[in-house]
Amino acid sequence: MVALGRPEEQFEIVVIRTTGDIVQSRPLSEIGGKGLFTKELEEALLAGSIDLAVHSMKDMPAHLPDGLAIGAVLPREDVRDAFISFASKDLASLPKGAKLGSSSVRRTAQALRLRPDLVATPFRGNVETRLQKLKAGVADATFLAAAGLIRLGLQAHITALIDVDDMLPALAQGAIGIEIAKSSHIDEIVAMIDHVQSNVAVTCERAFMAALDGSWSTPIAGHATVKDGIITFNGEALTLDGKHVFKASRQGAVADAERLGRQAGEEVRSLGGSLLTL
One-letter amino acid of 113: R
User: Closest Cα to residue 117, out of 92, 100, 97?
Assistant: 97
The answer for 13, left when phi > 0, alpha when psi is -120 to 50, beta otherwise, is beta
247 has which bridge partners?
A: 236
| Residue 221 to residue 169: CA distance in whole angstroms | 6
Q: Are strands 2-3 and 6-7 parallel, antiparallel or unpaired?
A: antiparallel
State yes or no: is 59 an active-site residue.
yes
Find out whether 127 and 63 touch, Cβ atoms under 8 Å: no
Angle between helices 196-211 and 257-272 (to 10 degrees): 30
Length of the chain: 278
Give me the catalytic one of 59, 78, 81, 140: 59
Angle at 275 between CA 273 and CA 276, to 5 degrees: 80
| Residue 209 to residue 62: CA distance in whole angstroms | 6
Find out whether 240 and 218 touch, Cβ atoms under 8 Å: no
Angle at 112 between CA 107 and CA 115, to 5 degrees: 125
| Residue 38 to residue 140: CA distance in whole angstroms | 31
Find out whether 217 and 93 touch, Cβ atoms under 8 Å: no
User: Catalytic positions, please?
Assistant: 59
